Amino acid sequence: MLAKIEMEIEGNGLDVNMSSLFHGYLMNSIDSAYADYLHYNETHPYTSCIYKDMESGKIFWKITTFNKNAYEMLIKYFLENDVKNIYLEKKGIEIVVKSISMTKTSFDELFFSNEKKSKIYFLTPTTHKSNGVLQIFPNISTLLLGVINKINQHSDTIKLEDENVINELLEKVYIDEYYLRTRYFFLENIRVRGFIGNLKIKIKGKDEMLYQLLNFLLQVSEYTGLGVKTALGMGGIKIG
């Protein structure tokens, strides 16, 4: 089960640097035992981010889940309670939910999808750790390995365990084009540097199975996010 809810939001003083406040609202709203469970996990079966759609200028809150439990506990909250107003206590800001759209799919459906994807749009600042340091340039193998690990840790239905195939993909995948810039992500009192923009990826050679795996991982990454701090608002992406 993979699910995504996107809410167009509006409010005086609202800006895209408020991801962590929305995350706080989310954790306060859902079942507290499940919120505690999430709190003590290192990686999470969900993402949450605030981003501005560049074409329309509208601001969205996107929440994604990638197992059944997270879907039931997080996304269903918005559907069942018909949430129309969100109060951000710390800032005293009242947010209005103007519209909601939902997408549901499955790992199987994405694996056998015929849509060919190669472009990643980073909607919110993204970063990953290499050699103990948060990086400001993307490493596509590291980012995809993060997706694989999240699938293996949280999926109810599949495991990606063929190390030979995975290693071959991670060795052969590369960034063909990019258009990126640094941008700070604001997390309470700290700033984390990341990159936003877009890039296009390719694989050396013509192995059909690797292309299918890459295509699958890219589509799943819309749900898992890319890089670190994806529950708090970093690494929110779209695939094209």
Task: Tell me the window of 2-10, 12-20, 75-83, 170-178 that interacts with a copy of itself (CB under 8 A).
Answer: 170-178
Place of tokens 């995504």: 4
- Rounded CA separation 147/227 (Å): 8
Measured CA to CA, the distance from residue 142 to residue 165 in angstroms comes to: 15
Cβ atoms 120, 217 nearer than 8 A: no
Residue 147, amino acid: V
Site for a copy of itself in 113-142 (CB under 8 A): 136-137
Position 170 contacts a copy of itself (CB under 8 A): no
Please identify which residue in 178, 192, 211, 238 interacts with a copy of itself, judged by CB under 8 A.
178
Q: Which is nearer to a copy of itself, 77 or 178 (CB)?
A: 178
In the chain, beta strands by DSSP E: 2-10, 46-52, 59-65, 85-88, 93-105, 119-126, 129-130, 133-134, 173-187, 190-203, 237-239
Q: Please choose, out of 9-17, 64-72, 175-183, 227-235, the segment that lies near a copy of itself by the rule CB under 8 A.
A: 175-183
Piece in contact with a copy of itself (CB under 8 A), picked from 7-15, 149-157, 161-169, 173-181? 173-181
Q: Which residues, listed in sequence order, are joined to residue 178 by a DSSP beta bridge?
A: 199
177 binds a copy of itself (CB under 8 A): yes
Nearer to a copy of itself, 136 or 166 (CB): 136
| Binding residues with a copy of itself: total (CB under 8 A) | 11
Report in angstroms how near the CB of residue 181 gets to a copy of itself at its nearest. Answer: 4
Cβ contacts of 109 within 8 Å, gap of 6 or more = none
- The 3-state DSSP class for residue 77 equals helix
For a copy of itself, the closer of residues 170 and 180 by Cβ is 180
**By the criterion CB under 8 A, which residues form the site for a copy of itself?**
136-137, 175-182, 197
